[in-house]
Structure 1
Amino acid sequence: MTLRVCLDCSTAFAVGVRLCPHCGSERNAEQGTAAAMGIHAGVPVETEEDTMPKITRHGGASFPPDEETAAAEVDGAGAAEPETTDVTPGYEDMTVEQLKEQLAARDLPKSGKRDELVQRLRDDDAATETE
């Protein structure tokens, strides 16, 4: 099946369609021809490997940058900040069942809402630190 390629946005579409469905341009050529590849306008065409990453619909590049680019980005942004380890356990990430297990291990009451359980564990952590 032959397709047409928009010369403005490079969208491929069916032969019978007059305007590009993406940008509305009338400029198009048959897919695979020199015009469709941009040669008619003197635009260099990369056939081996594209160096520009395609952008996904989620906004990120479809392939990660090479190591040199990643290193340059870190160097350009200044020294990377050292990671700080948070000594407070991630109670927000725990399930209610896990919170109750923590409370039971400390001989603390296991009743109440999730926020109350978390607060009870934090209060116990603070009391243990001051001792």
Structure 2
Amino acid sequence: MRIVERRIRRSEQRELALRFQIDHARDQARLEALVLADEAGIALAESGDRAVCEELAAIAPLLGRTISMPMPPLLRGADVAVRTMRVHGQPLYLASIGGTVARDALLATSLRGVERILAAN
């Protein structure tokens, strides 16, 4: 039985592995931006325009806890989605802008990838 490796890019370095995961998910879901942020709103991994990713990371913890809030300038009118997860007891936020109808499924898959990477390190 032949084993096929589904991951094209991989790394033993946590930061690079997260970047590869975020880049792949962004490409697959056709997102404008995708960011993994911590509770302080700091981007741990990002893919997309840097300024947009920084704003997205900053508001991700707020959006993960509230139903509605005003958007900062670069995100006004954008289709923003935030998924919350816990790794080693710490909340993390996977936040995206845009995407196709498959966005939710691809974000769920990306969450599992992020959890796997962080649990291994």
- TM-score tier after normalising by the smaller chain length: under 0.3
TM-score (norm 1): 0.19
Q: Which has the higher contact order (CA 8 A, sep 6+)?
A: 2
| Larger Cα-atom Rg | 1
- Name whichever structure is richer in helix by fraction: 2
TM-score (norm 2): 0.21
- Name whichever structure is richer in strand by fraction: 2
